[in-house]
Amino acid sequence: MQRCFNIIFFLFLFSFFLSFDAAFAQMSSEDYLNLVHQEQQQNNDQIVLSLLNEAEHLYPKDPNIFFERGSFYFNQRIYKKALQDFLLAEKYSYDNTYTLYTNIAEIYGIQGKYEKAKEYYDILIKDYPENEHALANALWYYYKTLQIKEGIAIGEQAIQTWPSSSSINSMLALLYASLHNYEKAQGYYQRAVDISIQEGRYREASQTLYNQAIFEGEFYQFALSENLLQKAIGLDNNPSSYRLMGELYLKKLLYWSAKDMIEISEDLEINETETIKRDRTPLGRLVLAQLYLTFNQLHMAEKILSQVDKLNNQEWITSFGTNKDAYLSWQYSLQAMLWQKHYLILRRSIHESWAEWIKQKLQMLRATFFYFYYKSLQNAFTLKGANNMRHEQLLLPAYQDYLTLSEGYPNAQRRFLDLSSALELPFAPKAKPTYLAQKALLEKNAAWRDEALQEFDPVYERYKKQVVLEKWLIQQPHSKDRISLIAQLYDLNRAAVAPFGLPVQLYIQGDKFYTKPLHKFLKQNLLLINTSPYILKITLAQGTAEIILEKDAHELIQRSIEFTASAKGIAELANRVLFYLYFPTE
C-alpha cells in the first residue's frame, strides 16, 4: 500500500515539475514577434506563419500579433485574411492606428468598397491633420465615391496648408476635371507637374501629365493632349502614356502606329508589374482587341478578350483609377461586337450541303445568344454607372450613358441628346459636330451629316467620321449618295490600312455566281484587300485584280485588271463584284 502511494506521489510531483517547467519556458508575445522578424529576413514564410499562429493561440487578444499576421497576408496579397486580422488588431486596440487604418482602407479600396475606405481616411485626416499623405489619399476616395464637391472643399482648405504638395494639387485637378471646370483643373495640373519636376520626381510628373492629357482630350484639345503625352514619355517610360498615345493614333485612324504604341505599353507593363508584384491592367489589350475587330481578325480579338476575362479583379482598377462600371461596359461591348461579327460572317456564308446548312444555323444561334448575353451585360453596367453619376449630380456623363442606352428609342434619344448638348456645349464648343452628327443619324438628315463631317477635327476625329459614315450606310443602304459615302470611307482608310490590308465583304451580283465551284474558289483564294485612293485591289493566292471606284457611279466598274494565267476567270468575277464595307445590311 505504501509502495503504491509513493508511486502516485512521484507521478504527481513529476507532472507538477513538467507543468512548472512549461510555464517557465513559455515565450512572451514579444519573443514570438522577434523570432518572426528574424525569419522574415530569411524569407522563411512558412515558419513565419507557423510562429504567428502559435502566438495567437497563446495570446488570443494581443493586437500586435494580429497586426503582424495581417501584414504578412497583405504582403502575400491574401487580402481577405489580412483584413480579418487588421480588424481584430483594431478591436484589441493596436496602438499605431495610422498604419493600421491606412492598411484597412487600402484593402477596402482593392475590394472596391470605396465608401468603407473613405470612412477610415476620414478618421485619419481627423486624427492626423498634419499628415499630407493621408489627406491626399482621402481626396482620392472622395473622387472614387463621386463626392466631388465635398472633396474639393477639403482639398481647397488643405492646399492653404500645403501649397507645394504635388499630390494635393493633382487630386484637386482631378476633382475639378470631374466637374468640367477647365481653368481650375488645368491650373492645378500645371502646378502639380512643376512641383514634381522641381523636386526631381519625374515619374510622378509623368503620371500627372498623363492624367492631364486625358482631361484635355475630354475637352477636345487633342493636339495639346498628344503634346502632353510626348512630354510624359520624355520624363518616364510610363506604359500608361504609351497606351493613351495609341488611343490617340486610333482616333486619327493610324492603326499601325496605334498598334506599335500599345505593344510598347504592354511590354513596359510586363516588366513593371513583375517588379512591383501586381496584375497588369487589361486596358491596352482591350485597345488591341478593338483594332483586331476593326480588321475582322476575329480569332485574335477573341484570344485577347479571353485573357482580359481573367483580370477583372479590383486591385488594378483601384490603383489605376478606372471607373469599374465604364471599364466593364467597354469590355462587354467588344465581346458583343465580336459575336455580332461572327453572326454576320456566318449569315453570308454559302452552304454546300444540308449538313453544312444545319451546322451554319446552329453556329448562328450560338453567336446570337452570346451577342445578346454580352449586350445585356454592357447595358447593365452602363446603366449602373449612369445611375450612380446622376445620384451624385454628375449629370453630363450620366446623360451621355443614357443616350447610349436609348439607341433604338428615338424619343428618348432626342431627350438625352438635347440634355447632353445643353450641358457640354457651353464649356466645350468643339463638341458641336459630335452632337450634330448624332442628330443627323437620328433624323436621317443628310445636310446635318455633311456639316458634321466637315466640322470634325480633320486630324484627330477621323475615327468619328468613319463611324458616322458606317452607321449612315448601315441604316440607309440604298441612299442616293451611297457610292460617294463609300468613297469617303476608303479615302479615310487608305493610308491607315496599308500595313494590315482591309477586309471587305463580297456581294456577288446575279444568281449564277452563287455556284459551288465559284464559292469554293473564293474561300481558297481570297486573302485580303488593300486600298489606295479610289482603287480597290483584291489580292488572291495566284493573282491580283484591281477595280477603280468612281464617286458618281451607282456601281463599282472595272477599269483595269492584272492577273496571271493561273488566275483565269478573275476578270469576269471582278466585273460583277460589289464591294461594301464593314458588314452593311443587305
**C-alpha dihedral, 489 to 492 to 494 to 496, nearest 10°:** -120
Reading the block at residue 41, the C-alpha cell is 529576413
Summarised one tens digit per residue, pLDDT across range 347-382 is: 766 666 888 889 889 999 999 999 999 999 999 999
List, in order, residues 6 or more apart from 187 with CB less than 8 Å away: 173
pLDDT for 310: 74
Rounded to the nearest integer, the mean pLDDT of the chain is 79
pLDDT for 225: 95
Q: Is residue 246 predicted with pLDDT exceeding 50?
A: yes
List, in order, residues 6 or more apart from 377 with CB less than 8 Å away: 328, 332, 335
pLDDT for 543: 43
The size of the chain, in residues, is 586
Q: Is residue 490 predicted with pLDDT exceeding 70?
A: no
d(CA 269, CA 247): 16
Cβ-contact 529, 536 below 8 angstroms: yes
SS3 505: strand
pLDDT for 360: 87
Reading the block at residue 70, the C-alpha cell is 495581417
Q: Phi and psi for 413 in degrees, rounded to 5? A: -60, -45
Q: Is residue 275 predicted with pLDDT exceeding 60?
A: no
pLDDT for 25: 46
Q: Is residue 565 predicted with pLDDT exceeding 80?
A: no
SS3 189: helix
pLDDT-derived band at 248, boundaries 50, 70, 90:
very high
pLDDT-derived band at 3, boundaries 50, 70, 90:
low
SS3 215: helix
SS3 506: strand
SS3 317: helix
Summarised one tens digit per residue, pLDDT across range 523-557 is: 444 433 333 333 444 444 444 444 433 333 333 33
Range with top average pLDDT, 30-39, 44-53, 432-441, 562-571: 432-441
pLDDT for 249: 92
Q: Which pairs from 436-442 meet CB under 8 Å and 24+ separation?
A: 437/464, 437/468, 438/403, 438/413, 440/468, 441/468, 441/471, 441/472, 441/475, 442/410, 442/413, 442/414, 442/417
Q: Count CB-CB contacts under 10 A for residue 404.
A: 17
Summarised one tens digit per residue, pLDDT across range 57-104 is: 888 889 999 999 999 999 888 999 999 999 999 999 998 999 999 999
List, in order, residues 6 or more apart from 311 with CB less than 8 Å away: 279, 280, 281, 282
Q: Is residue 311 predicted with pLDDT exceeding 80?
A: no
Range with top average pLDDT, 225-234, 282-291, 345-354, 497-506: 225-234
Element (H, E) at 242: helix 239-251
d(CA 166, CA 197): 10
d(CA 142, CA 161): 19
What phi-psi label fits residue 583: left (phi over 0), alpha (psi between -120 and 50 degrees) or beta?
Answer: left
DSSP 108: H
Q: Please name which of 173, 254, 250 lies closest in space to residue 216, comparing C-alpha atoms.
A: 173
Element (H, E) at 224: helix 222-235
List, in order, residues 6 or more apart from 388 with CB less than 8 Å away: 146, 325
Reading the block at residue 200, the C-alpha cell is 526631381
